[in-house]
């Protein structure tokens, strides 16, 4: 190989290098793009104005643990038209600022650093920025680099967190926070900016409390592709409509899913089942559904809110008692809902389709959530009591199941009413082996069930397949045949299509004809023809009728896809480039204004750019107690899909059109690839645009 390379002449080598350049034209354009700045950031000086009208409930545990920042108000960045000399000196003094990526990557992270860096240097060229390598772990291990203009320029508008890497280490002890403080003091930091999700902003709040007496400011940045960082006041005023990275990931997923729509519509034999990230909330599923108009999109929050009205009415009629089992959808009922759409589409010749499900859909299924909650508690208690890891102590599924069985029989512990009872054991053992094993997988660092490690789509689709088999045997799941095709086939075979149609089809005059429900085999096909007087009992079935029967037989074939890491690593949209850059600018102005324990935010993000307002939101007021690893911990609250929002209401109103179970073309929408033209790109996510509509 090397000998062949050496034989290439210099001119060819030069041309080859140009062709193989790592920078495409698109990449070069990205690196040179300058995001638009909110007009306030063109001012020579700003200050912070407290917005006391924005109120939040105050969690008593947050008040106890975060007394130094719990009373922070919402602060908006405003132009300071007439700063005095002291204000000018303080604002423009040289600063050392540390920055940390925390948690999974999200498109736009590099632009947060770019915005912060540019603004820091604009006001004082002597200021320095230090990036801690591999996230909080680097902070605790004092591993950092000085971030330079060259480094920032290399990563502008590009995806990933590779500038300084990221990590998931938690600041979950006083000793860790004290070590972090020592390291920040050693670098003479004025501020630390933590770019991350809800857990990372929780870290930021506790660090802000711990650092407060030192004078080192701590600012959080809302990052997560899941879109579950959204902030509303007690009066439902939206202060943070979404996190950066959400739009880019949704667009990346939507483009891939749109490609599958093209594929499915071409070979018309597969249902493509797409699982997208979103453990606790279904924001990505909703946004990608709005982007693509898929046939089925399951919103977990809606399933959790489900009430079986038929079952409820029946129970009230029979005994006047409320049947509480009617609340919350079951896996079995969910499979029936999916099957109904599949069967209806097949009747119009569309035995294919596109479905999106959120990664954490099982968390919204009541029967599964009960198992998860109980198993989380059992695992956490075992780890605490025995000072051993449950998964190391019981490495195989059978060993885990045996331990659960002993709990249900009262052989472990002395509880009169064990958390895992005989009924739990019976129901759990009815689940498929791979699913039971999935429910017992090792929890993540935060004690959460790792839905991404469970083949959620397999669990649901196996139940769908099982019920479709029943419907097929009942003659209810059949593929509709275009009547014109039937006529052509019959004419080619020398048969009278009008004569035989009533014997074969239940709707012989319609555009798509369906073979009668009682014709489910060649034997029943012959019987139908004999009973109609079209065939003698001793005759063989003509091949044309066998061909038509086989065309009507429905086979359910699926292809499964998981969209997550590809969306985390995609290049940011223009929206996320601009949003993230302005978050970086906001972070600097919060620091310069003396804020700490605040999360940088853009109020009016759901509106046109000229209405955007930079602000700081008190993280402590967003905290609440949540069960983690079997015990309550103070964490930042996640936001789930609001079923009363415009975006969901619009989705709910038009999704039946997307099913396209009729004599109509499919409604699939192609959102296009992520480009880099402000004229062609969406200016913000569709969910934000819909939610901004005035009712």
Strand pairing of 46-51 and 74-79? antiparallel
- How many Cα atoms sit within 13 Å of 230 on the Cβ side? 24
Are the C-beta atoms of 172 and 178 separated by less than 8 Å?
Answer: no
DSSP 77-130: EEE-SS--HHHHHHHTS--EEEEEEBSS--TTHHHHHHHHHHHHHHH-TT-EEE
Task: Output DSSP code: residue 307.
Answer: B
Instruction: In whole angstroms, give the CA distance from residue 283 to residue 281.
Output: 6
Q: Which helix (H) or strand (E) holds 615?
A: strand 613-618
Whether the Cβ atoms of residue 170 and residue 198 lie closer than 8 Å to each other: no
Where in 103-208 does DSSP place strands (E)?
A: 128-132, 144-146, 191-196
The C-alpha atoms of residue 163 and residue 110 are separated, in whole angstroms, by 7
CA nearest neighbour of 577 among 194, 225, 245, 162: 245
Give the SS3 label for residue 586. Answer: helix
Contact 541, 78 (CB under 8 A): no
Question: CA 496 to CA 506: how far, in whole Å?
Answer: 17
| Neighbour-count burial of 490, counting CB atoms closer than 10 A to its CB (0-12 exposed, 13-18 middle, 19+ buried) | buried
- The closest alpha carbon to 690, from 654, 658, 641, 651, belongs to 651
* Interatomic CA distance for residues 497 and 279, integer angstroms: 54
Is the Cβ–Cβ distance between 87 and 119 less than 8 Å?
no
Q: How far is the C-alpha of 349 from the C-alpha of 484, rounded, in Å?
A: 13
Residue reference for tokens 């900016």: 193
Residue 535: CA count within 13 A, CB half-sphere = 21
Angle at CA 14, nearest 5°, toward 11 and 15?
85
User: Which among 441, 445, 378, 437 is positioned nearest to 412, based on CA atoms?
Assistant: 378
The side-by-side arrangement of strands in the sheet containing 271-276 is 296-297, 353-358, 271-276, 558-563
Task: Give the residue numbers marked as catalytic.
Answer: 226
In this structure, the number of other CB atoms found within 10 A of the CB of residue 308 comes to: 17
Q: Angle CA(636)–CA(641)–CA(643) in degrees, nearest 5? A: 135
Q: Would the CA dihedral through 79, 99, 154, 145 be positive or negative?
A: positive
């Amino acid at each position: 190989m090397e000998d062949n390379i050496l034989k290439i002449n210099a001119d060819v080598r030069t041309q080859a290098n140009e062709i193989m350049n790592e920078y495409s034209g698109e990449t070069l354009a990205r690196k040179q793009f300058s995001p638009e700045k909110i007009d306030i950031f063109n001012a020579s000086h700003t200050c912070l104005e407290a917005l006391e009208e924005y109120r939040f409930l105050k969690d008593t545990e947050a008040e106890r643990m975060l007394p130094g920042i719990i009373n922070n108000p919402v602060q908006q960045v405003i132009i300071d038209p007439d700063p005095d000399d002291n204000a000018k000196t303080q604002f423009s003094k040289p600063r050392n600022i540390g920055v940390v990526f925390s948690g999974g990557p999200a498109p736009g992270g590099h632009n947060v650093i770019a915005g912060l860096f540019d603004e820091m240097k604009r006001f004082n060229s002597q200021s320095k920025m230090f990036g801690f390598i591999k996230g909080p772990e680097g902070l605790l291990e004092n591993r950092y680099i000085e971030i330079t203009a060259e480094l920032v320029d290399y990563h502008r508008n590009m995806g990933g967190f590779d500038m300084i890497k990221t990590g998931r280490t938690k600041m979950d002890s006083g000793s860790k926070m004290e070590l972090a403080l020592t390291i920040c003091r050693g670098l003479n930091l004025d501020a630390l900016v933590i770019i991350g999700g809800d857990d990372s902003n929780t870290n930021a709040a506790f660090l802000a409390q711990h650092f407060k007496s030192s004078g080192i400011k701590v600012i959080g940045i809302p990052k997560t592709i899941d879109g579950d960082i959204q902030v509303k006041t007690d009066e439902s005023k939206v202060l943070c409509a979404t996190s950066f990275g959400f739009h880019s990931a949704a667009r990346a997923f939507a483009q891939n899913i749109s490609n599958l729509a093209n594929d499915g519509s071409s070979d018309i034999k597969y249902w493509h089942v797409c699982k997208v990230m979103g453990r606790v909330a279904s924001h990505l599923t909703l946004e990608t559904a709005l982007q693509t108009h898929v046939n089925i999109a399951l919103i977990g929050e809606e399933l959790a809110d489900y009430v079986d009205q038929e079952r409820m009415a029946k129970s009230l009629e029979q005994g006047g008692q409320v049947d509480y089992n009617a609340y919350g959808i079951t896996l079995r009922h969910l499979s029936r809902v999916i099957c109904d759409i599949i069967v209806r589409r097949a009747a119009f010749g569309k035995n294919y389709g596109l479905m999106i499900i959120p990664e954490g859909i099982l968390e919204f299924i009541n029967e599964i959530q009960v198992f998860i909650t109980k198993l989380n508690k059992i695992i956490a208690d075992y780890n605490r009591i025995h000072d051993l890891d449950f998964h190391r102590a019981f490495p195989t599924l059978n060993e885990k199941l045996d331990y659960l069985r002993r709990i249900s029989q009262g052989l472990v512990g002395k509880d009169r009413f064990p958390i895992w009872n005989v009924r739990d054991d019976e129901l759990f053992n009815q689940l498929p082996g791979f699913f039971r094993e999935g429910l017992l997988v090792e929890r993540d660092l935060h004690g959460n069930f790792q839905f991404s490690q469970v083949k959620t789509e397999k669990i649901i689709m196996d139940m769908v397949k099982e019920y479709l088999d029943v419907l097929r045997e009942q003659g209810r799941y059949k593929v509709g045949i275009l009547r014109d095709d039937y006529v052509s086939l019959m004419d080619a075979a020398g048969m009278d299509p009008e004569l035989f149609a009533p014997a074969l089809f239940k709707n012989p005059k319609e555009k798509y004809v369906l073979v009668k429900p009682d014709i489910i085999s060649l034997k029943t096909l012959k019987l139908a023809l004999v009973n109609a007087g079209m065939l003698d009992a001793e005759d063989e079935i003509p091949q044309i009728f066998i061909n038509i029967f086989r065309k009507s037989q429905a086979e359910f074939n699926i292809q499964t896809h998981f969209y997550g890491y590809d969306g985390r690593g995609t290049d940011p949209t223009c929206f996320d480039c601009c949003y993230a850059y302005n978050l970086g600018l906001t972070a600097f102005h919060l620091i310069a204004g003396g804020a700490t324990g605040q999360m940088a935010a853009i109020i009016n993000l759901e509106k046109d750019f000229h209405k955007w307002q930079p602000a700081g939101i008190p993280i402590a007021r967003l905290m609440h107690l949540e069960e983690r690893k079997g015990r309550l911990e103070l964490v930042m609250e996640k936001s789930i899909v609001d079923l009363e929002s415009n975006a969901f209401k619009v989705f709910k109103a038009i999704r039946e059109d997307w099913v396209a179970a009729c004599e109509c073309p499919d409604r699939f929408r192609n959102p296009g690839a992520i480009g880099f033209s402000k004229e062609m790109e969406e200016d913000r996510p569709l969910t934000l645009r819909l939610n901004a509509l005035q009712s």
